[in-house]
Amino acid sequence: MDPIIVVLIIFGIILLIALIISLSSVKIVRQSESVIIERLGRYYKTWETGIHWLVPFFDRVSSKVSLKEQVVDYEPQPVITKDNVTMQIDTVVYFQITDPKSFTYGVNNPNNALANLTATTLRNIIGAIDLDEALTSRELINSKLRIILDEATDPWGMKVVRVELKNIMPPKDIRDAMEKQMRAEREKREAILNAEGEKQSKILIAEGNKTAMVLDAEGKKLSAILKAEGEAEAILKVQEATAEGIRLIRESKADSSVLAIKGFEAMVEVSKGQATKLIIPSDLTSINTIVSTAKEAWEAKTPEVPKETKTK
């Protein structure tokens, strides 16, 4: 074979290998991702999103780091409270990688380190409080745990966004006692509400009876007042009519026969009264005597009639 052809073939093969190596050295970094590059075994740079070229035989990709917020759900772990109660607590940690270089070189196996740090910190916090406070101060525990973890993981290039206590499980005997206590509290509140309802009902009934009695008394009072006013008005009308009759008799200058008749009528009315003694003049034909007698009888039966104004 011609040596020139052999050289061309070798050169073509070398060129093809170089092209393949060059194409394989082109790297694309995706969104929300960083790539750590080492050159000759040492940290060289951090690639961000975009197209990059890796120098063959000198540079290599050490690790790819996700910049998304990550969620880690840890298994329940036993913790002991200040009053020596052992319970199971499982936590959920939300964190984000802010420094890919520190995350890669700061600690060996960062996820495992975060899990152990979470467990020990949680035991320290729960060990300083009693059971009741642990059950009612979940938000406070979450806040303390997040602050401590965030400060501890900062050299590792991690930021703890938040921490949640997923579940707190006291021992079964304590849960049973808590359920009995809650049941007793509910029954107590029910009894108090029933007593308050009965009390309010009795108060309303008493107030209703009181209002009814007051209204009834006011009605009777008003009825008595109206009745008295009616009787007074009737008596006044009778007196006015009697006075008017006497005035008319005087003005008409009635003769002796009319006066005699009026005198007899007055005697009849007097006889119907309650008087035990009745004086009858012997001379009934005398007009003056009859009128005088009738006047005395009438004054004894009825109140005094107001004096009339003299007729001109």
Q: In Å, how far are 92, 141, 279 from 124, measured between CA atoms?
A: 17, 11, 124
Q: Are residues 37 and 59 in the same domain?
A: yes
Residues 100 and 52 in one domain: no
In a domain, 299, yes or no: yes
Of 43, 64, 85, which closes a domain? Answer: 64
115, part of any domain: yes
Note whether 74 and 150 are same-domain residues. yes
- Specify the CATH number for the domain of residue 132: 3.30.479.30
Strand partners, 87: 79
Q: Say if residue 290 is in the same domain as residue 234.
A: no
Last residue of a domain, one of 30, 45, 64: 64
- The answer to whether 104 and 65 have CB atoms below 8 angstroms apart is yes
Q: Is residue 179 part of a domain?
A: no
The answer to whether position 102 is within a domain reads yes
Token output for 286: 């005398």
Per-residue pLDDT for the chain (312 aa), expressed as one digit of tens each?
677 777 777 878 888 887 787 777 788 888 889 999 988 888 888 888 888 888 888 888 888 988 899 999 988 888 988 888 888 898 999 999 999 998 988 888 888 999 999 999 999 999 888 888 888 888 889 999 999 999 999 999 999 999 998 888 887 877 777 778 778 888 888 889 888 888 888 898 888 888 889 888 888 888 889 888 888 888 888 888 777 777 776 676 655 555 556 666 665 555 665 555 555 555 444 545 545 555 555 555 445 444 443 333
Residue 21 maps to a domain: yes
Domain that holds residue 32: 3-64
Residue 178 inside a domain? The answer is no
Q: Is residue 50 part of a domain?
A: yes
One domain, residues 94 and 37 = no
Same domain? For 77 and 164 the reply is yes
Same-domain pairing of 153 and 77:
yes
- Buried/exposed 243-268: b ≥16 CB within 10 Å, e otherwise: eeeeeeeeeeeeeeeebbebbeebbe
In this structure, is the dihedral angle defined by the CA atoms of residues 39, 44, 46 and 51, taken in order, positive or negative? negative
Q: Let me know whether 25 and 110 are in one domain.
A: no
Counting other chains too, the contacts that 226-232 makes at CB distance below 8 Å and 24 or more residues apart are: none
- Number of folded domains that form the chain: 4
Same domain, 260 and 241: no
- Same domain for 217 and 297? no
Helices (DSSP H) in the chain: which residue ranges?
Answer: 3-24, 100-105, 110-127, 131-136, 138-153, 172-252, 256-271, 287-301
Please report whether residue 307 resides in a domain: yes
Domain-ending residue, one of 64, 85, 103: 64
Q: Are residues 258 and 248 in the same domain?
A: no
Residues 6+ apart with CB under 8 A from 128: 82
Residues 231, 310 within the same domain: no
